[in-house]
Amino acid sequence: MVVVAEGRVYAVGVGPGSPRYLTAIAEEIIRGCDIVVGYEYTLRTIRHLLGPGKTVHTVTMSSQEGVLQSVAAELRAGAEEKTVVVPFTGDASFSESEVVDRLAEIFGSVQIIPGISSVQVAAAMAGVPLDKSRVITMHVTSPIEGKKEEMRQALASGLSVVLIPRPWPKRPDKHFMPSEVAAHLREHGFDTGAMRVSVFESLTTEQQTRFDGTVSELEGREFSDLCVVVFNQSEPDSYMNYRWQWDGDGSR
């Protein structure tokens, strides 16, 4: 592992897509940084912060490694301390661990700035409490068979599930979007015609869409890469159901 002594590197969550969901601390760090390395979609969210004086690198999955190595070399060679921001759509601590781990390998030390995740927004819109749900991301390059089992077990036990599917159109064996999720559940004995589901796309942006229906209706239906699937199995349970805890002497 190569440690960069000079400079500071931030992994910054910039929200689901709308600049309105960018936190004040994220904005402050981006405004004050010298170098930004990010994907085109993510950079669009913060373009109003990318003024003169900043070096901005737009990367793809295939080019990001070379760019990050080049930036690390620049930090090592420079006499002036520079600050680097790598922005992440949503929250840098969720569904981005593979990239954050690689940043730590390249730069040695990375400070993570949390952001608002599309998971939070989707759960709020669907009325699903996250503390009574299982949140699962399939958006990784590692095998997801264990995650599929976790999803099935959570649904079978009556938990709500907030799911980030995996777009991989060039590898059908790895592609696991809503249509594939629905087929997978049907093949594992779930009554998908009776299961309710919501799918949100491009949350917080002008392109935001919402599908509400049954899981069986997802089969054959296409959704964009920027989607979140919510299985809502929650039941209302207000604190008034537990008033015995403060009513009278606390006995039942």
pLDDT at res. 1: 40
pLDDT at res. 21: 97
* pLDDT tens string 51-87: 899 999 999 999 999 999 999 999 999 878 899 999 9
Q: Is the pLDDT of residue 3 over 60?
A: no
Distance from the Cα of residue 41 to its chain's centroid: 14
- Please give the Cα distance from 220 to 59 (Å, whole number): 31
Number of H helices, E strands in the chain: 7, 10
Strand partners, 38: 58
Q: Is the pLDDT of residue 4 over 90?
A: no
pLDDT at res. 95: 84
Q: At 5, is the pLDDT very low, low, confident or very high (cuts 50, 70, 90)? A: very low
Average pLDDT over residues 104-110: 93
Question: Burial, 71: exposed, middle or buried (Cβ in 10 Å; 0-12, 13-18, 19+)?
Answer: buried
pLDDT at res. 247: 75
Average pLDDT over residues 223-230: 96
- Please give the Cα distance from 226 to 204 (Å, whole number): 11
Percentage of the chain lying above the pLDDT 70 cut: 95
Q: Is the pLDDT of residue 2 over 50?
A: no
* pLDDT tens string 126-154: 999 999 999 999 999 999 999 999 999 99
- Closest residue by Cα to residue 191 from 215, 165, 159, 161: 215
Strand partners, 196: 214
**pLDDT greater at residue 247 or residue 34:** 34
pLDDT at res. 80: 84
Q: Is the pLDDT of residue 104 over 90?
A: yes
Q: At 7, is the pLDDT very low, low, confident or very high (cuts 50, 70, 90)? A: low
| Count of CA atoms in the C-beta half-sphere (13 A) of 111 | 11
* pLDDT tens string 147-193: 999 999 999 999 999 999 999 999 999 999 999 999 999 999 999 99
Average pLDDT over residues 84-109: 94
* pLDDT tens string 214-226: 999 999 999 999 9
Domains of the chain (ranges; CATH) run: 8-113 (3.40.1010.10), 118-231 (3.30.950.10)
